[in-house]
Chain A
Amino acid sequence: MKYLPLVLTNLFRKKTRTALTAGSFAVALFLFGILTVVDGAFQQGVDVAGVDRLVVLNRVSIIQPLPLSYRDRLARIPGVTQVTFANWFGGVYQDERNFFPQFAIDRETYRQMFPEFVLPDAEWQAFLADREGAVVGESLAERFKWKVGDRVPIKGTIFPGTWEFNIRGIYRGRRVQDDTTQFWFRWDYLDERKTFLKGWVGWYTVRIANPDDAVRLVKAIDEHFANSPAETKTDTEKAFAASFVKQMGNIQLLIMSIGSVVFFTLLLVTGNTMAIAVRERTRELAVLKAVGFSDGFVLALVIAETMLVALVGGGVGLGLAKLFTLRGDPTGGLLPFFYLSLDAIVLGLGLALAVGLMAGILPALAASRLRVVDALRRI
Protein backbone atom coordinates (compact mmCIF):
# COMPACT_ATOMS: atom_id res chain seq x y z
CA MET A 1 0.00 0.00 0.00
CA LYS A 2 2.87 2.38 0.66
CA TYR A 3 3.63 2.37 -3.07
CA LEU A 4 0.05 3.23 -4.09
CA PRO A 5 0.61 7.01 -3.99
CA LEU A 6 3.52 6.51 -6.36
CA VAL A 7 1.30 4.64 -8.80
CA LEU A 8 -1.54 7.15 -8.50
CA THR A 9 0.60 10.25 -8.84
CA ASN A 10 2.18 8.79 -11.95
CA LEU A 11 -1.22 8.19 -13.45
CA PHE A 12 -2.45 11.67 -12.64
CA ARG A 13 0.54 13.47 -14.11
CA LYS A 14 -1.14 13.37 -17.54
CA LYS A 15 -4.79 13.42 -16.61
CA THR A 16 -6.12 13.70 -20.14
CA ARG A 17 -4.02 10.80 -21.37
CA THR A 18 -4.99 8.63 -18.43
CA ALA A 19 -8.66 9.53 -18.85
CA LEU A 20 -8.54 8.74 -22.57
CA THR A 21 -6.81 5.41 -21.97
CA ALA A 22 -9.28 4.50 -19.24
CA GLY A 23 -12.02 5.67 -21.61
CA SER A 24 -10.77 3.25 -24.26
CA PHE A 25 -11.10 0.44 -21.75
CA ALA A 26 -14.54 1.70 -20.75
CA VAL A 27 -15.80 1.74 -24.34
CA ALA A 28 -14.30 -1.69 -25.09
CA LEU A 29 -15.69 -3.25 -21.92
CA PHE A 30 -19.08 -1.63 -22.46
CA LEU A 31 -19.13 -3.22 -25.89
CA PHE A 32 -17.95 -6.52 -24.40
CA GLY A 33 -20.76 -6.35 -21.85
CA ILE A 34 -23.42 -5.69 -24.46
CA LEU A 35 -22.09 -8.36 -26.83
CA THR A 36 -22.05 -10.85 -23.98
CA VAL A 37 -25.63 -9.95 -23.17
CA VAL A 38 -26.70 -10.38 -26.79
CA ASP A 39 -24.87 -13.70 -27.00
CA GLY A 40 -26.42 -14.77 -23.71
CA ALA A 41 -29.85 -13.79 -25.01
CA PHE A 42 -29.37 -16.01 -28.05
CA GLN A 43 -27.89 -18.84 -26.02
CA GLN A 44 -30.36 -18.56 -23.18
CA GLY A 45 -32.60 -21.33 -24.46
CA VAL A 46 -29.59 -23.62 -24.74
CA ASP A 47 -28.31 -22.76 -21.28
CA VAL A 48 -31.57 -23.30 -19.43
CA ALA A 49 -32.68 -26.39 -21.36
CA GLY A 50 -33.63 -29.29 -19.13
CA VAL A 51 -31.18 -32.16 -19.32
CA ASP A 52 -33.95 -34.70 -18.87
CA ARG A 53 -36.30 -33.34 -21.52
CA LEU A 54 -36.60 -34.28 -25.19
CA VAL A 55 -38.50 -32.40 -27.86
CA VAL A 56 -40.43 -34.42 -30.45
CA LEU A 57 -41.23 -32.65 -33.71
CA ASN A 58 -42.65 -33.65 -37.05
CA ARG A 59 -39.80 -35.02 -39.16
CA VAL A 60 -40.79 -32.85 -42.17
CA SER A 61 -40.46 -29.50 -40.38
CA ILE A 62 -41.17 -27.70 -37.18
CA ILE A 63 -44.32 -26.16 -38.61
CA GLN A 64 -45.84 -29.54 -39.44
CA PRO A 65 -48.05 -30.84 -36.60
CA LEU A 66 -48.24 -34.24 -34.89
CA PRO A 67 -51.38 -36.17 -33.96
CA LEU A 68 -52.66 -35.89 -30.40
CA SER A 69 -52.74 -39.67 -30.33
CA TYR A 70 -48.96 -39.70 -30.07
CA ARG A 71 -49.26 -38.48 -26.48
CA ASP A 72 -50.28 -41.88 -25.14
CA ARG A 73 -47.93 -43.76 -27.45
CA LEU A 74 -45.04 -41.66 -26.29
CA ALA A 75 -45.97 -42.23 -22.66
CA ARG A 76 -45.77 -45.98 -23.19
CA ILE A 77 -42.20 -45.95 -24.47
CA PRO A 78 -39.93 -47.36 -21.71
CA GLY A 79 -37.80 -44.61 -20.20
CA VAL A 80 -40.35 -41.85 -20.83
CA THR A 81 -41.89 -40.66 -17.57
CA GLN A 82 -43.97 -37.68 -18.61
CA VAL A 83 -45.39 -36.15 -21.78
CA THR A 84 -46.77 -32.73 -22.59
CA PHE A 85 -47.47 -30.85 -25.77
CA ALA A 86 -47.94 -27.33 -27.06
CA ASN A 87 -48.82 -25.41 -30.15
CA TRP A 88 -47.43 -22.21 -31.61
CA PHE A 89 -50.17 -19.60 -31.95
CA GLY A 90 -48.42 -16.71 -33.66
CA GLY A 91 -50.98 -14.00 -32.88
CA VAL A 92 -50.57 -10.23 -32.83
CA TYR A 93 -51.36 -8.04 -29.86
CA GLN A 94 -52.38 -4.53 -31.00
CA ASP A 95 -49.40 -4.09 -33.32
CA GLU A 96 -47.10 -6.50 -35.17
CA ARG A 97 -44.11 -4.95 -33.45
CA ASN A 98 -45.42 -6.22 -30.10
CA PHE A 99 -43.95 -9.64 -30.64
CA PHE A 100 -44.01 -12.25 -27.90
CA PRO A 101 -44.37 -16.03 -28.07
CA GLN A 102 -47.83 -17.46 -27.49
CA PHE A 103 -48.26 -21.16 -26.76
CA ALA A 104 -51.41 -23.19 -26.55
CA ILE A 105 -50.46 -25.66 -23.83
CA ASP A 106 -51.78 -28.87 -22.37
CA ARG A 107 -53.26 -27.64 -19.11
CA GLU A 108 -52.94 -31.02 -17.42
CA THR A 109 -49.22 -31.59 -17.87
CA TYR A 110 -47.43 -28.42 -18.91
CA ARG A 111 -46.81 -27.00 -15.45
CA GLN A 112 -45.33 -30.25 -14.17
CA MET A 113 -43.04 -30.50 -17.17
CA PHE A 114 -41.58 -27.03 -16.66
CA PRO A 115 -41.14 -26.54 -12.90
CA GLU A 116 -38.74 -23.66 -13.56
CA PHE A 117 -41.79 -21.49 -14.19
CA VAL A 118 -43.44 -20.67 -10.89
CA LEU A 119 -46.86 -19.23 -10.14
CA PRO A 120 -49.25 -19.45 -7.18
CA ASP A 121 -51.55 -22.50 -7.08
CA ALA A 122 -54.63 -20.28 -6.81
CA GLU A 123 -53.73 -18.55 -10.07
CA TRP A 124 -53.09 -21.87 -11.79
CA GLN A 125 -56.46 -23.20 -10.58
CA ALA A 126 -58.16 -20.05 -11.91
CA PHE A 127 -56.43 -20.67 -15.26
CA LEU A 128 -57.64 -24.28 -15.30
CA ALA A 129 -61.19 -23.18 -14.53
CA ASP A 130 -61.39 -20.59 -17.31
CA ARG A 131 -61.57 -21.83 -20.90
CA GLU A 132 -60.28 -18.46 -22.08
CA GLY A 133 -57.74 -18.22 -19.32
CA ALA A 134 -54.11 -17.25 -19.93
CA VAL A 135 -50.89 -17.24 -17.93
CA VAL A 136 -48.19 -14.73 -18.79
CA GLY A 137 -44.58 -14.26 -17.74
CA GLU A 138 -43.79 -11.42 -15.40
CA SER A 139 -41.61 -9.57 -17.97
CA LEU A 140 -44.42 -9.72 -20.48
CA ALA A 141 -46.95 -8.53 -17.90
CA GLU A 142 -44.67 -5.69 -16.96
CA ARG A 143 -44.09 -4.77 -20.58
CA PHE A 144 -47.79 -4.31 -21.31
CA LYS A 145 -48.80 -3.36 -17.76
CA TRP A 146 -51.05 -6.41 -17.57
CA LYS A 147 -52.41 -7.71 -14.31
CA VAL A 148 -54.48 -10.67 -13.28
CA GLY A 149 -58.07 -10.17 -14.40
CA ASP A 150 -57.23 -8.17 -17.52
CA ARG A 151 -58.84 -9.19 -20.77
CA VAL A 152 -56.43 -9.34 -23.69
CA PRO A 153 -57.45 -9.58 -27.34
CA ILE A 154 -55.01 -11.26 -29.74
CA LYS A 155 -55.49 -11.37 -33.46
CA GLY A 156 -54.76 -14.78 -34.89
CA THR A 157 -52.52 -15.02 -37.93
CA ILE A 158 -52.39 -18.79 -38.30
CA PHE A 159 -55.74 -19.34 -36.66
CA PRO A 160 -58.02 -16.55 -37.91
CA GLY A 161 -60.16 -14.29 -35.79
CA THR A 162 -59.73 -12.27 -32.67
CA TRP A 163 -59.08 -14.37 -29.63
CA GLU A 164 -59.87 -12.93 -26.24
CA PHE A 165 -58.09 -14.17 -23.16
CA ASN A 166 -58.45 -13.51 -19.43
CA ILE A 167 -55.18 -13.24 -17.60
CA ARG A 168 -55.47 -15.65 -14.68
CA GLY A 169 -51.87 -15.91 -13.58
CA ILE A 170 -48.42 -14.38 -13.86
CA TYR A 171 -45.46 -16.72 -13.66
CA ARG A 172 -41.87 -15.94 -12.78
CA GLY A 173 -38.69 -17.90 -13.44
CA ARG A 174 -36.78 -19.74 -10.74
CA ARG A 175 -33.54 -18.56 -12.35
CA VAL A 176 -32.79 -15.16 -13.75
CA GLN A 177 -32.20 -16.75 -17.17
CA ASP A 178 -35.66 -18.29 -17.38
CA ASP A 179 -37.79 -16.79 -20.12
CA THR A 180 -40.63 -14.80 -18.61
CA THR A 181 -41.94 -13.33 -21.84
CA GLN A 182 -44.25 -16.18 -22.81
CA PHE A 183 -48.03 -16.18 -23.12
CA TRP A 184 -49.79 -19.50 -22.39
CA PHE A 185 -53.39 -20.38 -23.01
CA ARG A 186 -55.29 -23.64 -23.09
CA TRP A 187 -54.79 -25.96 -26.05
CA ASP A 188 -58.32 -27.36 -25.63
CA TYR A 189 -59.66 -23.83 -26.25
CA LEU A 190 -57.58 -23.57 -29.42
CA ASP A 191 -58.59 -27.01 -30.62
CA GLU A 192 -62.22 -26.25 -30.00
CA ARG A 193 -62.23 -22.98 -31.94
CA LYS A 194 -59.90 -23.76 -34.80
CA THR A 195 -61.43 -24.89 -38.03
CA PHE A 196 -58.64 -27.12 -39.30
CA LEU A 197 -56.08 -29.55 -37.89
CA LYS A 198 -58.32 -30.49 -35.05
CA GLY A 199 -56.70 -33.10 -32.85
CA TRP A 200 -53.18 -32.14 -33.90
CA VAL A 201 -50.53 -30.50 -31.77
CA GLY A 202 -47.36 -28.54 -32.57
CA TRP A 203 -44.79 -30.62 -30.72
CA TYR A 204 -44.31 -32.83 -27.73
CA THR A 205 -41.94 -32.49 -24.84
CA VAL A 206 -41.16 -35.66 -22.93
CA ARG A 207 -39.32 -36.18 -19.68
CA ILE A 208 -37.01 -39.16 -19.48
CA ALA A 209 -36.07 -41.13 -16.39
CA ASN A 210 -32.33 -41.01 -17.00
CA PRO A 211 -30.60 -38.17 -18.88
CA ASP A 212 -27.75 -40.56 -19.73
CA ASP A 213 -30.29 -42.57 -21.69
CA ALA A 214 -31.17 -39.64 -23.95
CA VAL A 215 -29.35 -40.85 -27.06
CA ARG A 216 -30.99 -44.26 -26.93
CA LEU A 217 -34.43 -42.77 -26.32
CA VAL A 218 -34.12 -40.23 -29.14
CA LYS A 219 -33.51 -43.16 -31.46
CA ALA A 220 -36.22 -45.29 -29.88
CA ILE A 221 -38.89 -42.60 -30.25
CA ASP A 222 -38.08 -41.87 -33.88
CA GLU A 223 -38.00 -45.60 -34.67
CA HIS A 224 -41.31 -46.03 -32.92
CA PHE A 225 -42.99 -43.57 -35.29
CA ALA A 226 -41.06 -44.58 -38.39
CA ASN A 227 -43.15 -45.34 -41.47
CA SER A 228 -46.16 -43.62 -39.93
CA PRO A 229 -48.01 -40.71 -41.62
CA ALA A 230 -46.25 -38.28 -39.26
CA GLU A 231 -42.72 -39.43 -38.62
CA THR A 232 -40.91 -37.72 -35.79
CA LYS A 233 -37.61 -36.00 -35.26
CA THR A 234 -36.56 -36.07 -31.66
CA ASP A 235 -33.81 -34.05 -30.03
CA THR A 236 -32.68 -33.16 -26.57
CA GLU A 237 -34.12 -29.82 -25.49
CA LYS A 238 -30.62 -28.38 -25.55
CA ALA A 239 -29.98 -29.49 -29.14
CA PHE A 240 -33.40 -28.20 -30.13
CA ALA A 241 -32.66 -24.76 -28.65
CA ALA A 242 -29.21 -24.73 -30.22
CA SER A 243 -30.66 -25.47 -33.66
CA PHE A 244 -32.80 -22.36 -33.32
CA VAL A 245 -29.77 -20.23 -32.61
CA LYS A 246 -27.95 -21.78 -35.56
CA GLN A 247 -30.74 -20.77 -37.88
CA MET A 248 -29.82 -17.14 -37.22
CA GLY A 249 -26.20 -17.70 -38.20
CA ASN A 250 -23.10 -18.18 -36.13
CA ILE A 251 -23.84 -15.45 -33.62
CA GLN A 252 -21.06 -16.53 -31.29
CA LEU A 253 -18.43 -16.37 -34.04
CA LEU A 254 -19.63 -12.92 -35.02
CA ILE A 255 -19.52 -11.69 -31.45
CA MET A 256 -16.12 -13.29 -30.83
CA SER A 257 -14.75 -11.66 -33.99
CA ILE A 258 -15.99 -8.21 -33.04
CA GLY A 259 -14.75 -8.65 -29.46
CA SER A 260 -11.32 -9.85 -30.59
CA VAL A 261 -10.83 -6.91 -32.94
CA VAL A 262 -11.85 -4.46 -30.23
CA PHE A 263 -9.54 -5.98 -27.63
CA PHE A 264 -6.63 -6.25 -30.04
CA THR A 265 -7.01 -2.58 -30.98
CA LEU A 266 -7.23 -1.71 -27.29
CA LEU A 267 -4.05 -3.67 -26.68
CA LEU A 268 -2.17 -1.75 -29.37
CA VAL A 269 -3.46 1.64 -28.26
CA THR A 270 -2.72 1.04 -24.59
CA GLY A 271 0.66 -0.53 -25.30
CA ASN A 272 1.65 2.50 -27.37
CA THR A 273 0.41 4.90 -24.69
CA MET A 274 2.36 3.11 -21.98
CA ALA A 275 5.47 2.99 -24.13
CA ILE A 276 5.28 6.78 -24.55
CA ALA A 277 4.62 7.22 -20.82
CA VAL A 278 7.66 5.14 -19.92
CA ARG A 279 9.87 6.91 -22.44
CA GLU A 280 8.90 10.26 -20.97
CA ARG A 281 9.89 9.06 -17.52
CA THR A 282 13.19 7.43 -18.41
CA ARG A 283 15.19 9.74 -16.13
CA GLU A 284 12.81 9.31 -13.21
CA LEU A 285 12.86 5.55 -13.52
CA ALA A 286 16.64 5.68 -13.65
CA VAL A 287 16.68 7.75 -10.45
CA LEU A 288 14.39 5.26 -8.74
CA LYS A 289 16.81 2.50 -9.65
CA ALA A 290 19.78 4.59 -8.56
CA VAL A 291 18.35 5.07 -5.08
CA GLY A 292 17.80 1.35 -4.72
CA PHE A 293 14.51 0.33 -6.31
CA SER A 294 14.99 -3.01 -8.03
CA ASP A 295 14.34 -3.90 -11.67
CA GLY A 296 11.42 -5.99 -10.48
CA PHE A 297 9.94 -3.04 -8.64
CA VAL A 298 10.13 -0.83 -11.72
CA LEU A 299 8.55 -3.62 -13.77
CA ALA A 300 5.75 -3.98 -11.24
CA LEU A 301 5.25 -0.22 -11.02
CA VAL A 302 4.63 0.19 -14.75
CA ILE A 303 2.40 -2.89 -14.91
CA ALA A 304 0.45 -1.76 -11.85
CA GLU A 305 -0.22 1.59 -13.52
CA THR A 306 -1.53 -0.05 -16.70
CA MET A 307 -3.60 -2.57 -14.82
CA LEU A 308 -5.11 0.09 -12.59
CA VAL A 309 -6.18 2.08 -15.65
CA ALA A 310 -7.57 -1.13 -17.16
CA LEU A 311 -9.44 -1.99 -13.97
CA VAL A 312 -10.97 1.45 -13.53
CA GLY A 313 -11.81 1.89 -17.22
CA GLY A 314 -13.11 -1.66 -17.51
CA GLY A 315 -15.15 -1.28 -14.34
CA VAL A 316 -16.77 1.89 -15.66
CA GLY A 317 -17.55 0.23 -19.00
CA LEU A 318 -19.06 -2.85 -17.40
CA GLY A 319 -20.97 -0.68 -14.93
CA LEU A 320 -22.49 1.27 -17.82
CA ALA A 321 -23.31 -1.98 -19.61
CA LYS A 322 -25.02 -3.24 -16.47
CA LEU A 323 -27.01 -0.02 -16.19
CA PHE A 324 -27.99 -0.35 -19.82
CA THR A 325 -29.27 -3.90 -19.32
CA LEU A 326 -31.25 -2.93 -16.23
CA ARG A 327 -33.67 -1.17 -18.58
CA GLY A 328 -34.49 -4.58 -20.04
CA ASP A 329 -34.76 -5.84 -23.60
CA PRO A 330 -34.35 -2.86 -25.96
CA THR A 331 -35.60 -4.84 -28.99
CA GLY A 332 -39.19 -5.17 -27.86
CA GLY A 333 -39.22 -8.90 -27.32
CA LEU A 334 -36.58 -10.40 -29.62
CA LEU A 335 -34.06 -10.78 -26.78
CA PRO A 336 -36.14 -11.66 -23.74
CA PHE A 337 -33.13 -12.61 -21.64
CA PHE A 338 -31.24 -9.31 -21.67
CA TYR A 339 -29.11 -9.65 -18.59
CA LEU A 340 -25.45 -9.06 -17.72
CA SER A 341 -24.48 -11.77 -15.27
CA LEU A 342 -21.93 -11.50 -12.48
CA ASP A 343 -19.89 -14.18 -14.26
CA ALA A 344 -19.73 -11.97 -17.37
CA ILE A 345 -18.69 -8.97 -15.27
CA VAL A 346 -15.91 -10.97 -13.62
CA LEU A 347 -14.82 -12.30 -17.02
CA GLY A 348 -14.83 -8.77 -18.42
CA LEU A 349 -12.71 -7.44 -15.57
CA GLY A 350 -10.36 -10.40 -16.04
CA LEU A 351 -10.07 -9.59 -19.74
CA ALA A 352 -9.43 -5.91 -19.00
CA LEU A 353 -6.69 -6.86 -16.56
CA ALA A 354 -5.20 -9.30 -19.05
CA VAL A 355 -5.13 -6.62 -21.75
CA GLY A 356 -3.64 -4.21 -19.21
CA LEU A 357 -0.97 -6.74 -18.35
CA MET A 358 -0.15 -7.49 -21.98
CA ALA A 359 -0.12 -3.80 -22.92
CA GLY A 360 2.12 -2.95 -20.01
CA ILE A 361 4.54 -5.84 -20.14
CA LEU A 362 6.77 -4.61 -22.98
CA PRO A 363 7.15 -1.02 -21.74
CA ALA A 364 7.58 -2.41 -18.23
CA LEU A 365 10.32 -4.78 -19.35
CA ALA A 366 12.04 -1.93 -21.18
CA ALA A 367 11.84 0.15 -18.00
CA SER A 368 13.15 -2.65 -15.82
CA ARG A 369 16.09 -3.29 -18.18
CA LEU A 370 17.03 0.37 -18.23
CA ARG A 371 20.69 0.90 -17.30
CA VAL A 372 20.89 3.76 -14.86
CA VAL A 373 24.08 5.26 -16.26
CA ASP A 374 22.79 5.13 -19.83
CA ALA A 375 19.43 6.60 -18.91
CA LEU A 376 20.92 9.47 -16.94
CA ARG A 377 23.39 10.20 -19.71
CA ARG A 378 20.78 9.99 -22.48
CA ILE A 379 18.72 13.00 -21.50
Chain B
Amino acid sequence: MHPSEALNTKQPATGIHPARFLLMLMMVSVFMIFAAYTSAYIVRRNEGNWLEFTLPAGFLYTTLVIALSSATMQWAWLAARKDNLAQVRIALVATLVLGLAFLVGQWLMWNQLVSQRIFFAGTDANPSGSFLYVLTGVHGFHLITGLIFLAIVLRKSFHYQVHSRQMLSIGNVTIYWHFLGALWLYLYLFLLLNH
Protein backbone atom coordinates (compact mmCIF):
# COMPACT_ATOMS: atom_id res chain seq x y z
CA MET B 1 0.00 0.00 0.00
CA HIS B 2 1.20 3.43 -0.86
CA PRO B 3 1.90 5.83 2.06
CA SER B 4 -0.72 8.33 0.92
CA GLU B 5 -3.35 5.63 1.19
CA ALA B 6 -2.38 4.76 4.75
CA LEU B 7 -3.81 6.32 7.84
CA ASN B 8 -2.12 8.36 10.42
CA THR B 9 -0.05 5.74 12.21
CA LYS B 10 -1.22 6.92 15.62
CA GLN B 11 -4.66 5.43 15.06
CA PRO B 12 -5.21 1.97 16.49
CA ALA B 13 -6.99 0.94 13.33
CA THR B 14 -6.74 -1.32 10.35
CA GLY B 15 -4.50 1.11 8.51
CA ILE B 16 -7.06 1.28 5.74
CA HIS B 17 -8.54 4.65 4.91
CA PRO B 18 -12.17 4.82 6.12
CA ALA B 19 -13.39 5.70 2.63
CA ARG B 20 -11.77 2.56 1.27
CA PHE B 21 -13.13 0.50 4.11
CA LEU B 22 -16.63 1.83 3.39
CA LEU B 23 -16.19 0.87 -0.24
CA MET B 24 -15.16 -2.66 0.70
CA LEU B 25 -18.21 -3.06 2.90
CA MET B 26 -20.40 -1.80 0.06
CA MET B 27 -18.84 -4.44 -2.16
CA VAL B 28 -19.73 -7.08 0.41
CA SER B 29 -23.37 -6.03 0.28
CA VAL B 30 -23.33 -5.99 -3.53
CA PHE B 31 -21.91 -9.47 -3.47
CA MET B 32 -24.71 -10.59 -1.13
CA ILE B 33 -27.29 -9.53 -3.73
CA PHE B 34 -25.67 -11.87 -6.23
CA ALA B 35 -25.17 -14.60 -3.68
CA ALA B 36 -28.92 -14.43 -3.13
CA TYR B 37 -29.70 -14.56 -6.85
CA THR B 38 -27.33 -17.37 -7.69
CA SER B 39 -28.51 -19.51 -4.79
CA ALA B 40 -32.13 -18.75 -5.68
CA TYR B 41 -31.24 -19.82 -9.22
CA ILE B 42 -29.97 -23.19 -8.03
CA VAL B 43 -32.91 -23.75 -5.69
CA ARG B 44 -35.37 -22.87 -8.43
CA ARG B 45 -33.61 -24.96 -11.07
CA ASN B 46 -33.74 -28.05 -8.88
CA GLU B 47 -37.51 -27.75 -8.63
CA GLY B 48 -37.94 -28.65 -12.30
CA ASN B 49 -39.96 -26.97 -15.09
CA TRP B 50 -36.73 -25.27 -16.10
CA LEU B 51 -36.19 -24.30 -19.70
CA GLU B 52 -32.74 -25.34 -20.92
CA PHE B 53 -31.13 -23.21 -23.59
CA THR B 54 -27.62 -22.52 -24.82
CA LEU B 55 -25.96 -19.43 -23.50
CA PRO B 56 -25.20 -17.03 -26.39
CA ALA B 57 -21.57 -17.52 -27.36
CA GLY B 58 -21.06 -13.76 -27.42
CA PHE B 59 -20.87 -13.66 -23.62
CA LEU B 60 -17.35 -14.96 -24.04
CA TYR B 61 -16.43 -11.76 -25.92
CA THR B 62 -18.00 -9.46 -23.35
CA THR B 63 -16.09 -11.40 -20.70
CA LEU B 64 -12.86 -10.78 -22.59
CA VAL B 65 -13.71 -7.08 -22.93
CA ILE B 66 -14.25 -6.64 -19.20
CA ALA B 67 -11.08 -8.60 -18.44
CA LEU B 68 -9.19 -6.27 -20.75
CA SER B 69 -10.72 -3.25 -19.02
CA SER B 70 -9.41 -4.55 -15.69
CA ALA B 71 -5.95 -4.63 -17.27
CA THR B 72 -6.20 -1.02 -18.45
CA MET B 73 -7.52 -0.02 -15.03
CA GLN B 74 -4.50 -1.58 -13.40
CA TRP B 75 -2.32 0.21 -15.95
CA ALA B 76 -3.90 3.54 -14.91
CA TRP B 77 -3.19 2.83 -11.26
CA LEU B 78 0.43 1.87 -11.91
CA ALA B 79 0.92 4.95 -14.08
CA ALA B 80 -0.50 7.17 -11.34
CA ARG B 81 1.94 5.69 -8.88
CA LYS B 82 4.77 6.64 -11.22
CA ASP B 83 3.28 10.13 -11.72
CA ASN B 84 2.88 9.44 -15.41
CA LEU B 85 -0.23 11.59 -15.75
CA ALA B 86 -0.58 11.34 -19.53
CA GLN B 87 -0.70 7.56 -19.30
CA VAL B 88 -3.19 7.75 -16.42
CA ARG B 89 -5.63 9.66 -18.60
CA ILE B 90 -5.17 7.37 -21.60
CA ALA B 91 -5.64 4.28 -19.48
CA LEU B 92 -8.70 5.68 -17.71
CA VAL B 93 -10.30 6.66 -21.00
CA ALA B 94 -9.51 3.19 -22.35
CA THR B 95 -11.16 1.62 -19.29
CA LEU B 96 -14.19 3.83 -19.70
CA VAL B 97 -14.51 2.92 -23.38
CA LEU B 98 -14.09 -0.79 -22.67
CA GLY B 99 -16.66 -0.55 -19.89
CA LEU B 100 -19.15 1.03 -22.29
CA ALA B 101 -18.28 -1.61 -24.88
CA PHE B 102 -19.05 -4.28 -22.32
CA LEU B 103 -22.47 -2.76 -21.65
CA VAL B 104 -23.18 -2.54 -25.38
CA GLY B 105 -22.11 -6.16 -25.71
CA GLN B 106 -24.47 -7.22 -22.93
CA TRP B 107 -27.26 -5.33 -24.67
CA LEU B 108 -26.51 -7.20 -27.91
CA MET B 109 -26.62 -10.46 -25.99
CA TRP B 110 -30.07 -9.52 -24.71
CA ASN B 111 -31.18 -8.92 -28.29
CA GLN B 112 -29.80 -12.27 -29.26
CA LEU B 113 -31.62 -13.96 -26.41
CA VAL B 114 -34.86 -12.39 -27.58
CA SER B 115 -34.22 -13.68 -31.10
CA GLN B 116 -33.70 -17.13 -29.55
CA ARG B 117 -37.17 -16.62 -28.01
CA ILE B 118 -35.74 -16.47 -24.49
CA PHE B 119 -37.79 -13.75 -22.83
CA PHE B 120 -37.55 -11.83 -19.59
CA ALA B 121 -41.28 -11.76 -19.01
CA GLY B 122 -44.58 -12.65 -20.54
CA THR B 123 -46.43 -15.85 -21.26
CA ASP B 124 -43.51 -17.48 -23.08
CA ALA B 125 -40.98 -16.69 -20.39
CA ASN B 126 -39.47 -19.31 -18.13
CA PRO B 127 -37.64 -18.39 -14.90
CA SER B 128 -34.42 -19.76 -16.40
CA GLY B 129 -34.44 -16.92 -18.93
CA SER B 130 -35.78 -14.34 -16.47
CA PHE B 131 -32.95 -15.13 -14.10
CA LEU B 132 -30.40 -14.57 -16.85
CA TYR B 133 -31.82 -11.12 -17.54
CA VAL B 134 -31.89 -10.25 -13.84
CA LEU B 135 -28.29 -11.38 -13.26
CA THR B 136 -26.94 -9.48 -16.26
CA GLY B 137 -29.20 -6.48 -15.63
CA VAL B 138 -28.34 -6.01 -11.97
CA HIS B 139 -24.66 -6.50 -12.79
CA GLY B 140 -25.00 -3.96 -15.60
CA PHE B 141 -26.56 -1.49 -13.19
CA HIS B 142 -23.56 -1.79 -10.88
CA LEU B 143 -21.25 -1.45 -13.84
CA ILE B 144 -22.93 1.88 -14.61
CA THR B 145 -22.17 3.05 -11.08
CA GLY B 146 -18.57 1.97 -11.73
CA LEU B 147 -18.50 4.02 -14.93
CA ILE B 148 -19.75 7.08 -13.07
CA PHE B 149 -17.03 6.58 -10.48
CA LEU B 150 -14.47 6.21 -13.29
CA ALA B 151 -15.66 9.43 -14.91
CA ILE B 152 -15.27 11.28 -11.62
CA VAL B 153 -11.70 10.02 -11.22
CA LEU B 154 -10.95 10.85 -14.85
CA ARG B 155 -12.11 14.39 -14.22
CA LYS B 156 -9.90 14.53 -11.15
CA SER B 157 -6.94 13.35 -13.21
CA PHE B 158 -7.42 16.32 -15.53
CA HIS B 159 -7.35 18.59 -12.48
CA TYR B 160 -4.05 17.08 -11.33
CA GLN B 161 -5.72 15.48 -8.32
CA VAL B 162 -4.50 11.97 -9.13
CA HIS B 163 -0.82 11.32 -8.65
CA SER B 164 1.58 9.34 -6.51
CA ARG B 165 0.78 11.33 -3.37
CA GLN B 166 -2.96 11.22 -3.92
CA MET B 167 -3.78 7.65 -4.72
CA LEU B 168 -6.97 7.24 -2.69
CA SER B 169 -9.59 7.86 -5.38
CA ILE B 170 -7.84 5.99 -8.17
CA GLY B 171 -7.04 3.18 -5.75
CA ASN B 172 -10.70 2.94 -4.79
CA VAL B 173 -11.97 2.95 -8.34
CA THR B 174 -9.40 0.30 -9.25
CA ILE B 175 -10.62 -1.94 -6.45
CA TYR B 176 -14.24 -1.41 -7.40
CA TRP B 177 -13.57 -2.02 -11.09
CA HIS B 178 -11.69 -5.27 -10.44
CA PHE B 179 -14.55 -6.29 -8.18
CA LEU B 180 -17.10 -5.70 -10.93
CA GLY B 181 -14.95 -7.67 -13.36
CA ALA B 182 -14.53 -10.53 -10.93
CA LEU B 183 -18.25 -10.48 -10.24
CA TRP B 184 -18.98 -10.84 -13.93
CA LEU B 185 -16.47 -13.64 -14.23
CA TYR B 186 -18.23 -15.41 -11.37
CA LEU B 187 -21.62 -14.93 -12.99
CA TYR B 188 -20.35 -16.08 -16.38
CA LEU B 189 -18.79 -19.24 -14.98
CA PHE B 190 -21.87 -19.82 -12.86
CA LEU B 191 -24.12 -19.57 -15.90
CA LEU B 192 -21.84 -21.79 -17.98
CA LEU B 193 -21.79 -24.47 -15.30
CA ASN B 194 -25.48 -24.33 -14.45
CA HIS B 195 -27.07 -24.46 -17.84
Do A and B assemble together? no
Residues of chain A at the chain B interface (Cβ within 8 Å) = none
Residues of chain B at the chain A interface (Cβ within 8 Å) = none
